[in-house]
Every structure is written in C-alpha cells, then in structure tokens.
Structure 1
Amino acid sequence: MRWSRLTKGLVATALPVAAVAMGINATASASASSQAANAFPAHYAAPYLELSSGTAGDMAADMKATGLKDYTLAFLIPKSGCTPQWEAGNSALGAFTSQVSTLKAAGGNVIISFGGAEGGELAQTCTSVSSLTAAYASVVDTYGITRLDFDIEGGTLGNTAANTRRNQALAALQAQNPNVEVDYTLAVDPSGLESDTLNLLKDAKSKGVKVNLVNIMTMDFGDGENALNDALSAAKGTATQLASLYGISTAQAYARIGLTPIAGKNDDNENFTQANATTLETFAAANGVQELSFWEVDSYDKGTGYAYSRIFNKITDGTTTPPTTPPPSGGSTSYEAEAATLAGGTTVTSCAHCSGGKKLSYLGNGGTATFTNVSEPAAGTYTLTISFMSVGQARTAVVTVNGTAQTVSFPETPDYNTVVTKAVTVTLKAGSGNTIQFSNPSAGAPNLDRIVV
C-alpha cells in the first residue's frame, strides 16, 4: 500500500510515512494465540491500520465508535533473513498481541499483511522454502489468526524468484494447516489487473495455493478520471479476469474480490469522498464483494471520526450472497440496453460512462425494454447482472424472464457519471429463446446501460 501511480506503467513510489514510531512494546501482556480466531463473515469491512505503538489503540477506538471489528494490520517486512518485524517502529514479532487478543475477545479478527510499497516481503530475504513456511506459520501461531495478506507491488512484484518461493511456502503452509487463508493485495488499472499481477496469481494457482481473496488497490489511477468511476471499472474488469482464471461465474468472482481505496485525497489529487464510499459500499453489497478495505485508519479516517469505517461496515453481515452453485453456462454474455426492443416511450440517450456509450432513459411509467434471443447452452439458474443509474432516488423495476416476474429494487446512485450494477438470480431455458423484459407500470425505473448473463 502507500503507493502512487501517476501514469499507467510507472513504477510505484511510496507515500510519506504517516505514523512516526513512538516507542516499542515488544513484550505483550497476553498471548493472542490463546484466543481462538473468529470466523470472518461472508462480506465484511477490514480497513488497513499501519501498526505501531502509537496506533495500536486505534482498533479499540474505531470499534467503539463504529462497531467495526475486523482490521488489516500492516506491514510485516523483513528484518533480516527469515525474521520479520513491523515496519512502523521496527517492532518485533510478538508485539501488539494484547491488542489483538482484546479485539478477538470482542468478536473481531485481524488480517496480517506482509509487504507494502517500501519495506519488501519476507520471501525476498528468506531463501529457503521450508524456513519461509515456518516463518509464516510462526506469525499465524503468535497472533492466533487464520488470514494472511500479501501486498505485492513495485519491485517486489518483479522478483519472480521470490514470488515462486512465496507461493511454494504458502502451499506448504496450507497443507500443514488447512485453516490458513491467503489474500493477495495487488495494484490495478481501471480495466483490471495487468499481466504481471495476473502472472503472480497464475503461479499461485499452479503451486496449489488456495487464494481466498484478490484485494485490488483502487487508488492513485492518475488518469484524470473520477476516483469512484475508476474503482467501479477496475472491480468489474477484475471480476471478469478472476472468473476466467478460476473457471467460476462472475458472481462467484466478486465473492473473491476485495476493494481498497484511499480514504480521502489520493496522490493524483483525486478525492475519494465519503459519498463515493457510500456508492462503493452499495456496489459491493449488490455484487457480493467479499471485503471492503481502505488505506488507512490512523492517518486518513481517524480525523473524520472514523466515517469511512462506519460507511464500509454496512456491508458486514449483509444479506447479499452470491450463488454457491456455478451456473451451467461456460461464460458470461453482455447485452447492450440500446439493442433491446423498446416500447411506451423508452428512448436511447447518450452516456459517456456507459459500456456502449448509450443508455435507456424514460423506462417505466409504461415504458418497457425487452431483450430477446438471450441464449444459454443449458437450462438452469443464472446470475443476471444489471448495469444501471438511478439518480435522485431509489427506484424499482419489474424484471420478467420468460413470463415470470420479480420486482427488483435499485439503490440511488450519485450522478450520471456513475454506473452501478445489481445482481439478481433468474431461471433460463436452453437455447436462444429466452426473453428478459424491464418495466414499471406505475413509476419510473432506473436508466439501463446493459445486462450480463
């Protein structure tokens, strides 16, 4: 984390260190390993905290203010060889176990993150796979946790030998302790993951690492676009890539994604506002995103009264759950809304941020849009992902699939530059004879960009 990409393709550079070490408390008053790890919800918020003796108390303060109970602690970096230390303040492994124990006793949990933009990652200095496996296991045991995060970026990402060694060690660790879950935190472009980050995930897959989550850093895009728009675009692109990589549906891919913006001003001077955070949380909940995070609790969110924590924590224990059974199709197909059959006053209008440059307006109040010849190779239950705008208020639409209607609620979206998605479950028959109609007989429905099945 703490990285800046001012233009696409530039090497990441670190932000100024926000927290100054205030001393080291390497001797904990209680052992975190004595307190069993709690299970993470299916969907949750776990913001980053740059851990030091001066910030460790922020977990309790944030939890008291917002109810948020899960945190990502950053960063463990190499001290030397196979020995890690906390980057901020150079605290030894074993520091802050009392704070972790207190959080777990209150029902919370932590993810411990290795790497980051500046300090490197243990696989670069620990050159024995067995010793590296033992080092990772020691972190799990010391803090009594089950989730490890690896923030691999900049020059660390380009170290293919270390990447291979890390993946070998993580596969061995999971073989020894199947409860250990592995997350990768990676840089992203508005279109999705670049080839080097995808190669890292492909290597992890080939080594047998069970990657629980790909957490994308939706920050510092440097393209002059709105920070929220870039974040939403990156999430959609990454979901498509992960669906292809792991042979799963797009809905299931969202369940393996984390989204991590900067809470406030980015290094490219874009500002990720609290309103943006609300929209991103709505998008994440609607699409079944597993994790929302942000950089960073102490330096960015504490001064707001933990507003970003409060907003993102809405996703925790939410009811939006992606399907657990893969749909029988071999992939997703997109249908642009402007290609639908329109009636009752629905019209096609321009839309700079829509996938095809157009959207449907004046849908509802008798106006309809009907998608015909929607094709699937096999009958079954599918995820219908609807890209829409609903500016000014929340709206509903009646979605009728092959004669079976359901009323779908669409949340308010902030402006006409923000396209949001909503996932619903539909039943389709084999072949190209499926019909999907959008309507609302008595009120206005959202503007439609496209549907994906």
Structure 2
Amino acid sequence: MALQFQGRRLSPVRVLIVAAAIAALVAGGLAYWHRANDSAAAADADQWFGAYVDATSTPFYDIGASAAPEQRVVLGFVVADPEDDCAPSWGGYYSMDEAAEVFDLDRRAARVNAAGGQIVVSTGGLLNDELATACKDPAATAAAYRAVLDRYQSTTLDLDIEGDDLSDAEAGQRRVEAVLQLQQDTDFQLWLTLPAATFGLAPEGVAEVQRMLDAGVRIDGVNLMTMNFGQTRESGQSMATASIQAAQTAHQQLDELYQAKGQKLGERSLWRKIGVTPMIGQNDLLGEVFSLEDAVELNRFALAQGVGRVSFWSANRDAGCGETYPDLNRVSNNCSGVAQDTGQFASLLSAGLGQQTPAVAPSLESSGEKAPVETAIADDPDASPYPIWNAQFAYVKGDRTVWRKNVYEAKWWNQNSAPDAPAGKDQPQPWSLVGPVLPGDKPAAVLEAPAGLYPSWSPEKVYTKDDRVLFEGRVVQAKWWNTAQSPEAALQGSTDSSWMVLDNATVRKLIDKKPAKTPSAPSKASATSPAAEN
C-alpha cells in the first residue's frame, strides 16, 4: 500500500505575517538604497564657505589679501547702471572698467583665482535695481550676467533678490527667462539669496523659487538671509537658534516645492541646497546681535546637517570697532560692533566647510630632494602697467611697481626692499601685493599737459611751496622754496627733489577745470587805453 503524505496547510494569519515580513525587508532595502543614493548625491554637491564683500564700500576691501585658498569671495553687488538699464555696474557707481581703474578689481579677483579661490558674482541687494528689474530685455540681461561672470572668471552667480526686486513678479519672470538663456550656453552654479524669518521663506521668496522651478531652471541652492528677524524671533532666542529654525523651515518648504514638480529629493540632498547667511555682530535691528558664540553654534549645525553653503555679511565688517567708536549699537560698514579679533567670524563660520586638510610636506632632509632653485622671472616694461621695480629708486606710500609679473603697492617710504622679499617674524613688509600683471596690460600713457596750462620751469626764478610749472610736458609742484633746482630728479622718481610730479588723474582735473580762452579782435580803445598795458 502506498503511503500518502498530507502537507500542512498555512493559515491566512501566517500568510499575512510572511507577506508583511517580506514587505518590511523590501521597504527596508529600498529605504537603505534611497539613503545611500541621497548620501552619494549630497557628497557630489559642493559644500562651501564664502563671505560677502561690499565691493564699493570705502576703504576698498582687499579681497586678494584676505581670501583663504579653496574659499569663495562673494562680491556684491552688480546692479543696473543708472544711465543704462541693461548694463552691469558695481553698486550703480562704477562700470567694470571703472572698477578696474579705481580699485583694481580685475587684478584683485585674478589674485583670488590664482590662489585657488573662486569669485562669486552677486547681483541685486537691497538698495539698487537688480538687472532684471531695470532691464526689460531678458536677452540683454542674460548678456550682462554673462559679461560679469566672464570678466572675473566666476562659475557661480548669486541672485540676491530682496525688497522691491522680490515683489516685482514681472521682473521675476524676466529674470527666469534670462537665467534660462544663460544656462543654455554657460556652465555655472546658480544660487538664489532670499530674505528669511524663523518661519522660513516669505511668500514672495517661495514664489521666486517656484517660478524658477516651473520654467525648468536648474537651481543649485537657496541662500537664506538669516538676519534682522524682528518679531519672528522669540524673546531670549539666540540669533544662531533663530537662524537654525529658519533653515529647518525652509528645508521643508523646498521639499514641498520639489515634490510638487514630481522631484523627490533626499533629506541630505535638500540640505545641500540650503545656504545660511547671518549678519555678523550688530544687526540693523536694535537688540539683534550675532555673536562669536552664535557663529560657533551655526557652524556646528551646518556641518552636522551638511548645509551646502555658509556666508555672512560682510567681510568688510569682520573686525572690532576699537575704543574710539562712539556707539556700538550703531551699525558700521567697517566693523562688527562686538569684541573680536580681525577675521574671527570668517574663521569660526568656515571651519571644516569644503576645505581639504593640507598634507604635511615632507622635509627636504628626509626626502633627499634638493631645495628648489629660485626661478628667474623677467618683467617686460612694454607689457607692465607700472614701472619695473628698481633697487636704486626710493618709493613713497601709494607708489606702484611691477616685480616678477605681479603688481605691488608701497605702504611707506622704502628703498632697496624687493617687493617679494620674505619678512622675518614680527618684521613689517613695506609692500603689499595687489595682484598679477593681467593679459593685455600696457604701460599707462603719460598725460601731457597742454602748453599754457602753467608757466614753463625757469632756472632763474624763485619758487615757493605749491607753485606749479611745466617741465617736459609734465606738471610739477614745488614741495618747498627752491631756485635753480631742476625737476628732472622728480621725473626719475627721487623723493629728495624739491619737486613732485602730479599724476595723470590730478592733471586731467586741472585741464578740465582750466577755462578755455576765446580769442577776440582788439577794440579800437585797447590799442591806446592805459588799461591795455596793465
């Protein structure tokens, strides 16, 4: 007789348990896969630090001397030229050519790039018209954005949209069209800098982001101006805590905006699209002070969450105000209003953000390598904007010279001090590095004064302090009483001469100020009148 085995039948409850277990395993695997992809995507995105610099604020900030390698410098603000709505200008005061001439922006930007840093161009700001607001032609606006990025070799465009610019929906649509055109043929990162409160982005800011996403603009990040919170900050809440709350809420807002477009970004990927920008020290609102302790706390949060960007307003203010500053509650463009070391906020906020730890260089003794030989670099007078440095010349404060393909400016009187000579510890260096000689640089043409602007120099005359004469086409001014002392030495750069040579800018003002003489026919009376002889 054959035996038959009757299998046990699974109950419906057991089937459900097994199915739930399998579903849990699948869900867990998918969640792990999504987290892994999210982490990988976040790792591919930049995380960076870059302080804002008010480019046109005086004294002009030396970006080349202050930016650390691998950091970015956010230059603000490019706005519409008041005389040409579609032309970019710095703060409405300087064209790009004028900025190069007045405060050497081209050369200083080139120095940042050469040191491994990056220039970020920021447009808009609170006080002037962003280009898309003033310019009614999106193509011309795109061309203006492109011109500024190209000029400073920048790969990041920061659209700082606030105030009237943010509430102007028509300008916002033109801005979208301009950015879309620019993204078609230019590879760059796009950041939107928008006002924030503890509740995150205001409705106008949300609308600006949504316009961009609806049009298909690729946004690399949204930078929150975490400052001037006003009544949205709870009593006793620190500025760092308020900034963190703003970032967390904006994170949720971005998540909803992207999901509405059918894009599900992971949590860490979304954090990479968030930037935070506090105003260091005393804010514009009384009682709001972003302290050094706030900087430490915000930096820790940024590192823990993987925030994509940290900036602050502004590098010009990253210094103590000093004992002579009368009122620390009054906001200054040149100091923070809190007790600090110069550059301390930049150091605290940037710690660990997007910077590689420098490798320890092997010692020459252990490596067996020979010490490098100093490379000879020949300067070309015909391709240098200033005279080549000469050990025999005496230089005074403000004098510029070219040495080994770089431009230097004298801090004080010096002679026979090579501009790139290393200074010992605690020893002052009489030169400051401005930046490299740029392609296309040529010697500045000497402005020759027209005959008759001043009398010609005469060895027989006595001159007193501030007397001006013409000598070999140049205007020279007496520094003290002298006679029979030729201005030739002054033209050769001597500081011991009794004369000083006026620069081109001063001579141009004198020429423009001098009224033109209109010849007229002499009257009959003029030939015999006694007044004609006086």
Calculate the TM-score normalised by the size of structure 2.
0.49
The 5 Å alignment of 1:394-433 reads none
Where does residue 243 of structure 2 map in the other structure? 231
1:46 matched to 2:25: no
1:307 matched to 2:344: yes
Q: 1:61 aligns with which of 40, 60, 65?
A: 65
Q: Describe the shift of the 1:240–1:278 C-alpha distance in structure 2 as closer, same or farther (beyond 3 A).
A: same
Distance 1:109 1:154 in 2: 28
Q: Secondary structure at the match of 1:130?
A: helix
Q: Which runs of 4+ in 1 moved over 6 A?
A: none
Where does residue 292 of structure 1 map in the other structure? 310
Please state how far the C-alpha of 1:240 moved relative to its aligned partner: 1.2
Where does residue 105 of structure 1 map in the other structure? 114
Where does residue 156 of structure 2 map in the other structure? 147
Q: C-alpha offsets along residues 234-269 of structure 1, whole Å, 9 cap, x if unaligned?
A: 010111111221231222111011100011111222
Where does residue 171 of structure 2 map in the other structure? 162
Q: Which amino acid aligns with 1:47?
A: A
Q: C-alpha offsets along residues 306-353 of structure 1, whole Å, 9 cap, x if unaligned?
A: 00111122132369xxxxxxxxxxxxxxxxxxxxxxxxxxxxxxxxxx
Please state how far the C-alpha of 1:52 moved relative to its aligned partner: 2.7
The 5 Å alignment of 1:91-240 reads 91-92=95-96, 95=100, 96-177=105-186, 179-223=187-231, 224=235, 225-240=237-252
Tell me the percent identity.
29
Distance 1:89 1:126 in 2: 17
Where does residue 20 of structure 2 map in the other structure? none
Where does residue 253 of structure 1 map in the other structure? 270
Structure 1 alignment gaps of length 5 or more: 1-39, 320-453
Distance 2:123 2:190 in 1: 11
Distance 1:53 1:91 in 2: 15
Q: C-alpha offsets along residues 15-66 of structure 1, whole Å, 9 cap, x if unaligned?
A: xxxxxxxxxxxxxxxxxxxxxxxxx982221010000384554323323xx6
Distance 1:111 1:264 in 2: 23
Structure number with higher relative contact order (C-alpha < 8 Å, ≥ 6 residues apart): 1
The alignment of Structure 1 onto Structure 2 pairs a total of residues equal to: 277
Distance 1:282 1:146 in 2: 27
Please state how far the C-alpha of 1:166 moved relative to its aligned partner: 0.6
Where does residue 472 of structure 2 map in the other structure? none
Q: 1:281 aligns with which of 286, 299, 319?
A: 299
Indicate the structure with greater helix content.
2
Distance 1:234 1:257 in 2: 11
Distance 1:136 1:283 in 2: 33
Where does residue 263 of structure 1 map in the other structure? 280
Indicate the structure with greater strand content.
1
Where does residue 255 of structure 2 map in the other structure? 243
Distance 2:316 2:208 in 1: 30
Q: C-alpha offsets along residues 220-240 of structure 1, whole Å, 9 cap, x if unaligned?
A: 101243211110100101111
Structure 2 alignment gaps of length 5 or more: 1-43, 259-263, 320-333, 336-340, 357-534
Distance 1:41 1:202 in 2: 21
Distance 1:144 1:279 in 2: 33
Distance 2:117 2:69 in 1: 10
Q: Describe the shift of the 1:53–1:308 C-alpha distance in structure 2 as closer, same or farther (beyond 3 A).
A: closer
Q: Describe the shift of the 1:197–1:86 C-alpha distance in structure 2 as closer, same or farther (beyond 3 A).
A: same
The answer as to whether partners of 1:285 and 1:318 remain within 8 angstroms in 2 is no
Q: Describe the shift of the 1:234–1:161 C-alpha distance in structure 2 as closer, same or farther (beyond 3 A).
A: same
